[in-house]
Amino acid sequence: MKACKILLLVIALLIAGCQNQVTEEKKTDTETITSTLSEWDTYTNLDSLMTSYQIATSSNVRSTLAKERIYLIDDNNPWDTALVNIRVREGYFACIYDNDFTLYTHRLSNGKEGLDFMVKNNPGALTKETNDSFEYYYSDDGTTQDYLWIQDGAYLLELNVPTSIEFNINEVLPALKYQSLR
């Protein structure tokens, strides 16, 4: 009888010890995730970007490519939209317009490879389309239409347009202008 009580006590201690370990395993430390992207650099117009580009030490505006350009929608455009600001990060220039258009110039040495990478890594998200021999990729999430294409054979451009705006991609091509940064 005494051996049975000792055996039950040992089993109870083992079970209690295991339960404490289980509880300890459930405890976790809180972690802080920090972004590795830099903050936006924001410019009110192309002139302020160009001035900064000439004197900058920020990785956002410093050119790392042999040829680099920023594309913008010309002031004389079919939508009567005006540039609000230009936001810059290491990977792209984002031109924000007053009608909620956003035109991205991706800062890549090979825009075609960048586009192929985006299409490959987002299967089913982008539809390849052709309009008057102009080839582009398109997606629509219900609130925004997203267009991606290669401009001038080398530059990956992306245009986000609210679905509330009647839009034809062919209208944007003649309205584009660019500024060489190098």
- CB 6 within 8 Å of CB 23: no
Q: 7-38 burial string, b = 16+ CB within 10 Å, else e?
A: eeeeeeeeeeeeeeeeeeeeeeeeeeeeeeee
Q: Kindly tell me the sign of the dihedral angle through the C-alpha atoms of 130, 133, 136, 142.
A: negative
pLDDT in tens, the chain (182 residues): 666 566 555 555 556 555 444 444 444 455 555 545 567 889 999 998 888 877 766 555 555 666 788 999 999 999 999 999 999 988 889 999 999 999 999 988 889 999 999 899 988 889 999 887 789 999 999 999 999 999 988 899 999 999 999 888 888 989 999 998 86
- The DSSP bridge partners found for residue 176 are 73
CA 141 to chain centre: 16
CATH class of the region 41-180: alpha beta
Domain ranges of the chain: 41-180
Give the Cα separation of 35 and 23 in Å (integer): 32
pTM for the model: 0.74
